[in-house]
C-alpha cells in the first residue's frame, strides 16, 4: 500500500470515529428529550398521616408507611427523597427524638428509609404486644354488647395475639367462650352449626341482625337506655300497647323490650297501666260511696235531733218519718 492509500485509510477511520461519536451524542440527546417529555409518575396511595408518638398508633402507621414506600416510592423519588419523606411524616416531638439518627445518616450518605422505620420501631413498638393481646383474648367478654359489634373486637384481638392461624375449632371455641348466655342460647337453638370459622362468624352475624342489638348504657340510643333506667327501679317501663305489640312481633320481651329473654324470664316487675290504675281507683271510690250511703242514714236516724226555740223545756222526742225525711216532736 502506497503513502496515498495509507493517508486515505487513516482519514476514513478518523471520519468514522467522528460519525460514531456524533451518533452517540445524538442518542444521548434523544434519551434526555424522552425523559423530559415523559409524564411524571403519580402517587397511588393517599398521603400518610403524621406519627404523633402514641404507641397504640405505631402498628397502623408503620404498616401504612411501608406500603407507601413500596407502592409510591418511584413517584416520591430516590432513597434520599424517601428517607426525608418518612422523616417529614413525623411529629415535631418525634423528629427531635430521631434527630441524632438522621444526622448520622447525612454524614454517611447511606439513605435507607426502611432503616429509619426500623429505628422508630425499636422505640415505639411493644415487644410484648402479642402476649398482652393473648391475655385480652382470654378475658374478652361480650357482656351487653351486640353480636355485630362484638365480632370486630374479637377479630382485632385475635390477630393481635397471633391466633389468626389457629385451627377453626380452636377459634370457634374461643369465640363462643366469650359470648353471653343469651347468645349461646340462640346458638343452641340452631339445627346445624358450621364447622368452618368464617361460616360460624357469618351465622353469628345473621343471628345478631335477626334479633337486633343488645341493650347497653349507650344513652345516644333511647331504646337501649330505657331498659337500663328501668333496672334501677326494678320496674318495667310503662309503654303503649302498640310498643308492646312491636316487641312481640320482633320476638322481644313484651315487658321490657329486651331481645335477650322472654317475659317469663324478665327481671323487671310488671307495671300496671294508667287505665287499670284509674279503673281501680274508680272502683274503690264507688265502693266507698256505697258504704257511706248505707251508713249515713243510720247515723242520721240515731243522732239527728230537730231544733227547737231557746227556753222551751226538753220533751221526749220520737223519730217519725215524713216525706221530707225530717222528724218533729
Query: Does some domain include residue 154?
Result: yes
294 occurs within a structural domain: no
Q: For the chain, give the number of residues.
A: 329
* Residue 64 and residue 98 in one domain: yes
Alpha helix ranges (H) inside 125-255: 129-139, 147-160, 168-177, 181-188, 197-211, 222-233, 241-249
Q: Do residue 188 and residue 241 come from a single domain? A: no
Neighbours of 198 (CB within 10 A): 10
Bridge partners (DSSP) of residue 269 are 235
- Is residue 133 included in any domain, yes or no? yes
Domain boundary among 124, 156, 176: 124
Domain boundary among 88, 107, 124: 124
* Distance separating the N- and C-terminal Cα atoms of the chain: 185
> How far apart, in whole angstroms, are the C-alpha atoms of residue 290 and residue 280?
15
47 located within any domain: no
81/120 same-domain check: yes
* Contact yes or no for 183/189 (Cβ under 8 A): no
193 assigned to some structural domain: yes
User: Domain containing 256: what range?
Assistant: 222-265
Q: Residue 161: name the closest of 169, 192, 153 by CA.
A: 153
Nearest to 163 by CA among 155, 80, 227: 155
Instruction: Describe the crossing of helices 197-211 and 181-188 by its angle, rounded to 10 degrees.
Output: 110
- Placement of cell 322481644 in the chain: 252
Query: Are residues 169 and 186 located together in one domain of the fold?
Result: yes
From the number of C-beta atoms within 10 Å of its C-beta (0-12, 13-18, 19+), residue 15 rates as exposed
How many other CB atoms are found less than 10 A from the CB of residue 61?
21
Contact (CB, 8 A) for 166 and 191? no
Whether residue 170 is contained in a domain is answered as yes
Residue 135 sits in the same domain as residue 207:
yes
Q: Does this model's pTM top 0.85?
A: no
- 60 & 105 share domain: yes
Final residue belonging to a domain, choices 189, 211, 233: 211
The answer to whether residues 65 and 92 touch, using CB atoms and an 8 Å cutoff, is: no
Residues 145, 158 within the same domain: yes
| Three cell numbers, residue 240 | 303503649
**Does residue 109 lie within any of the structural domains?**
yes
Extract the C-alpha cell encoding 303.
243522732
**Domain match, 174 and 140 both:** yes
Task: List average pLDDT for each run of 10 residues in the chain, which is 329 residues long.
Answer: 54 74 83 68 86 90 93 91 94 93 92 94 89 89 90 91 89 92 88 90 85 47 37 68 81 80 78 54 56 47 46 46 45
Distance of CA 38 to the CA centre of its chain: 47
How many CB atoms sit inside 10 A of residue 172's CB?
Answer: 20
Closest CA to 205 of 243, 224, 179, 230: 179
Same domain, 63 and 108: yes
> Which residues, other chains included, contact 19 with Cβ-Cβ below 8 Å and sequence gap of 6+?
none
Residue 314 falls within a domain, yes or no? no
Q: What pLDDT, on a 0 to 100 scale, did the predictor assign at position 112?
A: 93
Same domain flag for 115 and 148 = no
* Domain co-membership, 206 together with 136: yes
Counting the structural domains of the chain, the total is 3
> Degrees (nearest 5) of the Cα angle 36, 42, 48?
135
> What is the per-residue pLDDT for 318?
46
Distance CA 252, CA 232 (A): 20
Identify whether the C-beta of residue 114 lies closer than 8 Å to the C-beta of residue 69: yes
Which pLDDT belongs to residue 284?
58
Q: Residue 65's closest CA among 41, 36, 38, 94?
A: 94
Amino acid at each position: 500500500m502506497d503513502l496515498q492509500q495509507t493517508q486515505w485509510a487513516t482519514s476514513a477511520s478518523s471520519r468514522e470515529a467522528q460519525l460514531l461519536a456524533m451518533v452517540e451524542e445524538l442518542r444521548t440527546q434523544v434519551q434526555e428529550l424522552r425523559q423530559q417529555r415523559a409524564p411524571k409518575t403519580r402517587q397511588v396511595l393517599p398521603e400518610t398521616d403524621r406519627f404523633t408518638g402514641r404507641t397504640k398508633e405505631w402498628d397502623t402507621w408503620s404498616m401504612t408507611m411501608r406500603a407507601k414506600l413500596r407502592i409510591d416510592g418511584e413517584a416520591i423519588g430516590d432513597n434520599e427523597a424517601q428517607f426525608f419523606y418518612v422523616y417529614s411524616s413525623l411529629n415535631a416531638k418525634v423528629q427531635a427524638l430521631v434527630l441524632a439518627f438522621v444526622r448520622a445518616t447525612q454524614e454517611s450518605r447511606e439513605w435507607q428509609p426502611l432503616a429509619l422505620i426500623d429505628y422508630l420501631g425499636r422505640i415505639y413498638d411493644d415487644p410484648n404486644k402479642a402476649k398482652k393481646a393473648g391475655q385480652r383474648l382470654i378475658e374478652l367478654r361480650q357482656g351487653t354488647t351486640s353480636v355485630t359489634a362484638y365480632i370486630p373486637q374479637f377479630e382485632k384481638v385475635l390477630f393481635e395475639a397471633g391466633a389468626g392461624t389457629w385451627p377453626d375449632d380452636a377459634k370457634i371455641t374461643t369465640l363462643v367462650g366469650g359470648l353471653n348466655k343469651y347468645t349461646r342460647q340462640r346458638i343452641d337453638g340452631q339445627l346445624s352449626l358450621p364447622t368452618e370459622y368464617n361460616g360460624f362468624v357469618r351465622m353469628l352475624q345473621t343471628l345478631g341482625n335477626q334479633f337486633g342489638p343488645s341493650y347497653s348504657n349507650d344513652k345516644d340510643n333511647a331504646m337501649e337506655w330505657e331498659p337500663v333506667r328501668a333496672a334501677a327501679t326494678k320496674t318495667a317501663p310503662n309503654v303503649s300497647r302498640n310498643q308492646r305489640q312491636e316487641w312481640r312481633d320482633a320476638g322481644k320481651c313484651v315487658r321490657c323490650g329486651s331481645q335477650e329473654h322472654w317475659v317469663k324470664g324478665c327481671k323487671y316487675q310488671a307495671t300496671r297501666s294508667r287505665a287499670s290504675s284509674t279503673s281501680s281507683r274508680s272502683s274503690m271510690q264507688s265502693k266507698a260511696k256505697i258504704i257511706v250511703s248505707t251508713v249515713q242514714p243510720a247515723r242520721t236516724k240515731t243522732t239527728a235531733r230537730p231544733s227547737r226555740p231557746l227556753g222551751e223545756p226538753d220533751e221526749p222526742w220520737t223519730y217519725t218519718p215524713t216525706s221530707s225525711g225530717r222528724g218533729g216532736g
